[in-house]
Amino acid sequence: MKKTLLFIASAALLAQACGGSLSPQDKLTVHDKEINALIAQMTLEEKVNMLHSKTNMSSAGVERLGIADMNYADGPFGIREEGQPNGFMSAGWTLDSATYFPTGSALAATWSEELAYKYGSGMGKEARLRGKDVILGPAVNIQRLPVGGRTYEYLSEDPILSAALALRYTEGCQDEGTAVCIKHFAVNNQETNRGSVNAILSERTLREIYLKPFERAIIEGGAMSVMPAYNKVNGEYCSENEHLLNEILRGEWGFKGFTVSDWGGTHSTMGAMLHGLNVQMTGSNYLGQPVIDSIATGALTEEMVDEKVRQILRVRYAIEAVPADVANTVMTSQPECQDIARQVAEKSIVLLKNEGVLPIKADVRKIAVIGQNAVLKTQSGGMGAGVKALYEVTPLEGIQRRAGEGITVTYAPGYKNFPGRRWGPAPTVKDPLEASAIDEPADPKLVAEAVALAKEADLVIFFGGTNKNIETEGSDRKNIDLPCGQEELVKALYEANRNLATVLISGGPTDLRVLEPASPAIVQGWWNGTEGGTALAEVLFGDIAPSGKLPFTFPAKLEDSPAYAMGNFPDPNGAGGDLFTLMFRPDVLSMTPAERQAFIDSLPKPESHYTEEFYVGYRWFDSKEVKPMYAFGHGLSYVSFTYGPMSALAGKDAVKVSFSLTNEGAMPADEVVQLYVSRPEARVEWPVKELKAFQRVSLGAGETKTVTLTVPMKELRYWNEATNAWDLEHGKLLLQLGSASDDIRETAEVTI
Ligand code: BGC
């Protein structure tokens, strides 16, 4: 009988085993003795074999010693369809339909730590059913650019919100016995030239903004693996960045697990071996035979390999391998996870504006639903992670189901849909509802048809926004304009019927300057998962009160946002040629290593300068007094909330505030209370205000609760570049409590 390793799956058991006193990272080391004994039995070849991909989504164990392979799954918003061993093409399985969870920005719009935990646990559960050990998520980079292709995957422009959710997602997932691989470490804030761009930023900006979400998930959440990003940070590729991987991640944060390069993001043998990478994904041209050769020449030592293997095995011990005859025996998508997806969707929907149109009135008998975004599925599309969802309720289906028999729902597409860059073979017959260009003007026939329905209806619901091909991994948007003549259409609809609500279906912000005056109500509806349409209908019909809050700023215009205003993006030198894309060109793949290196050296060297520093998102808009279209943290309800007077106390370890919160309405509702901090007499430069604490509070009709928010003193520190350490500036703090970054209800002053 084959020897199998005994694995301890649950963090709780581990804690018990070692008296509960170890840090989440140190818990990974409790089996080091056994691991070392195991390493001693391995040949060099077996060890090196663990340092690179085995298939597109696995890295090898050692069968002879009962060490199972490590199986990965994308991540981050649903367990990805099973692919072929050598790539992403479908394996054609039938039990691999998963739950499609709301995408990152939707999760963040809930501002709910509890839901982030449930979300992570749902991902962790379904990963186990598929025999996966590690999910490639959560994706937690800061949304620096409104045009960012992966804004929808990422959480927020704010590090405190992102960090809180990243932590709880990590805990939820790992408590189910699946490791996270938190990504993309770090400063992966643009898709433009993502494989080669050098992000140049100050240490203070790096620490206070871009590293925060990783830091909490790793130190407090015990994230077991980390994916270094494609880009460079301050001159070094992330997959071989001494400062990021060895000094900060392992040195300061005490990370004990393993790192996995982003797919195709390993760049050299020596760089990876010396500066913190464990596993090359995918390929073995750097962390395969060249490692063995380098040991033979003395450039590397076998102990270095042992150390990397030890870090991988720690996770292998913590995560129980799912036996092959247990994995993939039931459908991946489970009802309890579909329920989590619905809960997240319900709490993520943001009511941006409402001049009495919503909730839908009892006398509405005929609703005209206009816009292709009401029917397009969003589980996949574009490049990158998608989900083969077991089912997906579209907005139109959700509205039709909720409307029932007494209400007639009509539908017209209204505008053409831009399919973007196509993956796979082009269809032989062109879909008449497809636009050839993103800025193609409105089609008069489609507009006329939509207007005719609008005229006959009691209420028009216009579905605008982007789509999954426009916001996608691999490229950034050129602008944030509404595509395919949507503005012209919404103006015509508004002319035809003033009782109009707009629902924006997108992952990131859009330019609403034309749409806003033509929409008495506006809802941000996101890419909201398997139950997205159900949740949206519940909010529109007033079964539940909307309670999402924006996790990023909606700028009035793109040029107002910090990286644009500072001339940092797009790259003023316009250097092109995404190394990542180029490296997969057939002619490049067939080059010898020397030719390849010469080719890489000949490429342009794009840079992204972060001279806006920590003035990211609302930190910029508030400090520079630029009015956005909708501010960070904004989101209305069907009820109003009263904030009672705030009492504040500064202790040794934390600042605490307490206040009463009352739901003045006739229905249950949630409010997300937000505490911002300003420093009236600071010597150090600070943004005019920064989020430091928040909480989602559920209140019954007319109910009052006392709410306490805590800001740990360590969250009030800044990164002192002179001493290269965290520092606390003592003095006065102005505490600003409110319902949004631009809706402050109570203030108090304390001295720390
Ligand atoms: C993405 C990662 C993803 C990986 C595997 C890369 O292109 O950047 O986020 O996990 O592919 O699919």
Q: What is the pLDDT of residues 713-729, one digit of tens each?
A: 999 999 999 999 999 99
Question: How many A from CA of 269 to the centre of ligand 1?
Answer: 21
**Single-letter residue type at 154:** Y
What is the pLDDT confidence band of residue 15, given thresholds at 50, 70 and 90? very low
Q: Tell me: domain 343-540, CATH 3.40.50.1700, correct?
A: yes
Report whether pLDDT(75) > 90.
no
Q: Tell me: domain 639-751, CATH 3.30.950.10, correct?
A: no
d(CA 735, CA 623) in angstroms, rounded, equals 16
Q: Which residue has the higher pLDDT, 13 or 67?
A: 67
**Atom 8 of ligand 1, nearest CA residue:** 262
Report whether pLDDT(19) > 60.
no
pLDDT value of position 5: 44
Q: pLDDT tens, 105-154?
A: 999 999 999 999 999 999 999 999 999 999 999 999 999 999 999 999 99
Report whether pLDDT(572) > 80.
no
Q: Is the distance from the beta carbon of residue 74 to the nearest atom of ligand 1 less than 6 Å?
A: yes
Q: pLDDT tens, 518-534?
A: 999 999 999 999 999 99
pLDDT value of position 352: 98
Report whether pLDDT(12) > 50.
no
Name 587's Cβ contacts closer than 8 Å, sequence gap at least 6.
Answer: none
d(CA 437, CA 572) in angstroms, rounded, equals 25
Q: pLDDT tens, 160-192?
A: 999 999 999 999 999 999 999 999 999 999 999
Report whether pLDDT(516) > 60.
yes
Supply the DSSP string of 390-416, one letter for each residue: S----HHHHHHHHH-TTSEEEEE--SP
Q: Is the distance from the beta carbon of residue 75 to the nearest atom of ligand 1 less than 6 Å?
A: yes
Q: Which residue has the higher pLDDT, 606 or 670?
A: 670
The mean pLDDT value for 25-45 works out to: 98
Cβ pair 319, 31 in contact under 8 A: no
Q: Is the distance from the beta carbon of residue 263 to the nearest atom of ligand 1 less than 6 Å?
A: yes
User: What is the spatial order of strands in the sheet that 459-465 belongs to?
Assistant: 350-354, 521-524, 500-505, 459-465, 366-370, 408-412
Candidates 508, 513, 437, 435; CA nearest to 477 is 508
pLDDT value of position 2: 39
pLDDT value of position 605: 83
Which position has the token pair 């009988």?
1
Rounded to two decimals, what is the model's pTM?
0.96
Provide the CATH number for the domain formed by 31-67+225-318 in this structure. Answer: 3.20.20.300
Report whether pLDDT(584) > 70.
no
Task: Return the axis-axis angle of helices 113-129 and 335-348, rounded to nearest 10°.
Answer: 150
Name 669's Cβ contacts closer than 8 Å, sequence gap at least 6.
Answer: 545, 547, 637, 638, 639, 641, 663, 698, 699
Question: How many A from CA of 263 to the centre of ligand 1?
Answer: 6
d(CA 257, CA 312) in angstroms, rounded, equals 6
Out of 74, 133, 262, 560, which one is annotated catalytic? 262
User: What is the spatial order of strands in the sheet that 732-740 belongs to?
Assistant: 690-699, 669-678, 732-740, 743-751
d(CA 351, CA 634) in angstroms, rounded, equals 9
pLDDT value of position 331: 98
Question: How many A from CA of 56 to the centre of ligand 1?
Answer: 11
Q: Which tokens in the block code for residue 691? A: 């989020």
Q: Is 251 helix (H, G, I), strand (E, B) or coil?
A: helix
Question: How many A from CA of 488 to the centre of ligand 1?
Answer: 37
Q: What is the DSSP letter of 51?
A: G
Supply the DSSP string of 511-574, one letter for each residue: --TTTGGG-SEEEE-----TTHHHHHHHHHTTSS------SS-B-SSGGGSHHHHTT-SS-TT-
For residue 751, the cross-strand partners are 732
For residue 368, the cross-strand partners are 410, 460
d(CA 482, CA 503) in angstroms, rounded, equals 13
Q: pLDDT tens, 232-286?
A: 999 999 999 999 999 999 999 999 999 999 999 999 999 999 999 999 999 999 9
**Atom 11 of ligand 1, nearest CA residue:** 263
Tell me, yes or no, if 262 is annotated catalytic: yes
Which helix (H) or strand (E) is 750 found in, with range?
A: strand 743-751
pLDDT value of position 578: 60
Q: pLDDT tens, 129-142?
A: 999 999 999 999 99
What is the pLDDT confidence band of residue 581, given thresholds at 50, 70 and 90? low
Q: Is the distance from the beta carbon of residue 136 to the nearest atom of ligand 1 less than 6 Å?
A: yes
pLDDT value of position 593: 75
d(CA 384, CA 674) in angstroms, rounded, equals 33
Task: Return the axis-axis angle of helices 486-496 and 444-456, rounded to nearest 10°.
Answer: 30
Q: pLDDT tens, 483-514?
A: 999 999 999 999 999 999 999 999 999 999 99
d(CA 6, CA 14) in angstroms, rounded, equals 13
Q: Which of 337-346, 361-370, 383-392, 640-649 is predicted least confidently? A: 383-392
Candidates 166, 108, 148, 143; CA nearest to 619 is 143
Q: Is the distance from the beta carbon of residue 532 to the nearest atom of ligand 1 less than 6 Å?
A: no
d(CA 578, CA 634) in angstroms, rounded, equals 36
Name 124's Cβ contacts closer than 8 Å, sequence gap at least 6.
Answer: 135, 172, 173, 174, 175, 176, 177, 178
Name 334's Cβ contacts closer than 8 Å, sequence gap at least 6.
Answer: 99, 125, 126, 129
Q: Which tokens in the block code for residue 641? A: 């909330």
200, HSE (Cβ side, Cα atoms, 13 Å) = 11
Q: What are phi and psi of 347, to 5 degrees?
A: -95, 0
For residue 650, the cross-strand partners are 655
Domains in the chain: boundaries: 31-67+225-318, 343-540, 639-751
Question: How many A from CA of 338 to the centre of ligand 1?
Answer: 24
Mean pLDDT (the chain, rounded): 94
Q: Which of 16-20, 256-260, 271-275, 585-589 is predicted least confidently? A: 16-20
**Atom 7 of ligand 1, nearest CA residue:** 263
Cβ pair 270, 295 in contact under 8 A: no
